[in-house]
Copies of this chain bind each other. A is one copy, B any other.
Amino acid sequence: MKSASFHPPKRLLMGPGPSDLHPRVLAAMAQPTIGHLDPAFIDLMDDIKRRLQAAFGTANELTMPISGPGSAGMEACFVNLVEPGDVVVVCVNGVFGGRMKENVERMGGHAVLVEDAWGSPVDPAKVEAALAAHPGAKALAFVHAETSTGVQSDAAALCALAAKHGALSIVDTVTSLGGIPVAVDAWGADAVYSGTQKCLSCAPGLSPITFSPRAVEAVKARKTKCPSWFLDFSLLLGYWGGGAKRAYHHTAPVNALYGLHESLVLLEEEGLEQSWARHALQHRALVAGLEAMGLGLPVAPAHRLPQLNAVTVPDSIDEAAVRAQLLSRFGLEIGAGLGALAGKVWRIGLMGQSASPAHVMACLTGLETVLAEMQAPIATGRATGAASQILFG
C-alpha cells in the first residue's frame, strides 16, 4: 500500500532560496516541542536574540525573529514605522523594492520612488536628490541584496544619506545576512529584516529583524495604533523584550526556532567572516565555470552578489525546459527570472550550505550537459576544470 505520508524527492537547492539545510538544523527541528513559556524556551529565546545581534552586527535591544516568512518581516517594519500620510523614499531596482512600495501605500503612506534598472544597484545620487526634494520624509527604504537580480547596493552609503536627511533607514537583508557583510550598527541602519532560508540555511518561515533605538522611539511616538495586532512591536516587545516576566503574545513557532538556533550555532562555529569568504570563493568558482562555458552574467562584477548569480539564458534556449531537466535528471533546483527578467536569466543560488564545491560542480555539470544536448552555443569540457582551479588551486 502506498503510504499517504510525504517524502520529498532528493534535491540540491541552488535557487533563490530555500537553500540546503545542514543535517544538524534538520535534526534540531525534530526535537520534541516544549511550551513557549517554558523556562528552557525563554533561555533559548535569549540565546537566539544574542546570536542574531552578532549576525546582524548590532547591539540593538529589539532584535528578534518574527514568526513568519521574510515578507512578514518586511511588513513588520513598515506597519510599525509608517503612519498614514508619511512620506517614504523607496528604492526600486527589482521585485522586492516594488513590494516595499506596496507596503508603504497599504499603510496609507506616500511612496516616492527612486528607480534604477533591474540589474543595477541603487544610485545614491538619485536617493540624495529624492531626500532633498522631500524634506521631512519619514524613511528611506531599500534592498541590500536584490534576490530578483543578484545585485548588491551600498547599504552604508544609503543609510548615511537617510541619517543626514533625518529619515529612518529600512533595509531588506533577506538574501544578504550570513552571506556578505551586514553591519547594522556600523551602517547606522534603523529597521532591518531578513529571512532564514537563504544564507542562514534554515527552513523558511521566520524573519529575523532588528530595530535601532531611534526606530523604537519612532514606534513609541506613533499617533495611530499599529494596524496589525500580530506584528505590533509594542506588544511583541513584551514577549521578546527580555527580562524574566514575559507577556504572552502569540505561540512562538517552537520547532522552527530550534532550527534557527542551530543554524546560528553553526554560523558561530564557522565564523561570520569565514562564511562570507566561503560564499565569495564558491561564487568565483561558479563564475569561472560559467564563463569558461561561454555563459554571460548580466550584472557588473562590482555589484554582483556571491550568493545569487543571475546568468543570461543563451538565445534560442527555452529556459524553463533547462530548469525542468536539471530538476528531473539531476535533482538540481535553480531559479527562474522574476518580473522584468523572466525568461531572460536563471538565478543560481550559492546560499549557506549550498555554497559548497559539490554544489558548484553539480551545477556546472548539469548545465553543461543539458545545454549541450539542446545545442546551445557553449564551450564544453572546460567548466569544471576552471572552477576546480579556483577552489583547489
Q: Which residues of A does B touch, CB under 8 Å?
A: 4-11, 13, 15, 17-18, 20-21, 24, 26-41, 44, 47, 67-72, 74-75, 79, 99, 102-103, 105-107, 195, 197, 203-205, 225-230, 248-256, 258-259, 261-262, 265, 268-269, 327, 333, 338
Contact = CB atoms under 8 A, between A and B. Distances in A.
B36 A262 contact: no
A34 B6 CA distance: 12
Given A71-B230, A230-B68, A256-B205, A8 B30 contact: no
Contacts of A103: 229
B256 A203 contact: yes
For the complex of A and B, 9 pairs with smallest distance between CB atoms:
A205-B253, A30-B30, A203-B255, A204-B251, A71-B250, A68-B68, A26-B30, A8-B34, A75-B230
20 contacts: A5-B262, A5-B265, A6-B31, A6-B44, A11-B35, A18-B33, A20-B32, A26-B33, A26-B255, A33-B203, A38-B333, A69-B250, A99-B229, A107-B227, A203-B253, A205-B205, A205-B255, A205-B256, A227-B228, A255-B256
Contacts of A67: 68-69, 72, 205
Contacts of A5: 24, 28, 261-262, 265
A18 to B, nearest CB: 5
Contacts of A41: 8
A32 B28 contact: no
Contacts of A4: 265, 268-269
Contact of A32 (B8, B17, B230): B8
B38 A327 contact: yes
B327 A230 contact: no
A39 to B, nearest CB: 8
Contacts of A74: 229-230
A11 B38 contact: yes
A338 B205 contact: no
Contact of A256 (B70, B106, B256, B261): B256
Copies assembled: 2
Contact of A9 (B9, B40, B47): B40
A41 B26 CA distance: 18
A226 B20 contact: no
A4 B36 CA distance: 20
Given A30-B30, A32-B21, A6 B262 contact: yes
Given A6-B47, A71-B250, A259-B255, A204 B33 contact: yes
Nearest to A102: B229
A134 to B, nearest CB: 23
A31 to B, nearest CB: 5
A254 B31 contact: no
Contacts of A333: 34-35, 38
Contacts of A228: 75, 79, 106, 227-228
A38 to B, nearest CB: 7
A106 B231 CA distance: 12
A313 to B, nearest CB: 18
Contact of A106 (B99, B102, B197, B225): B225
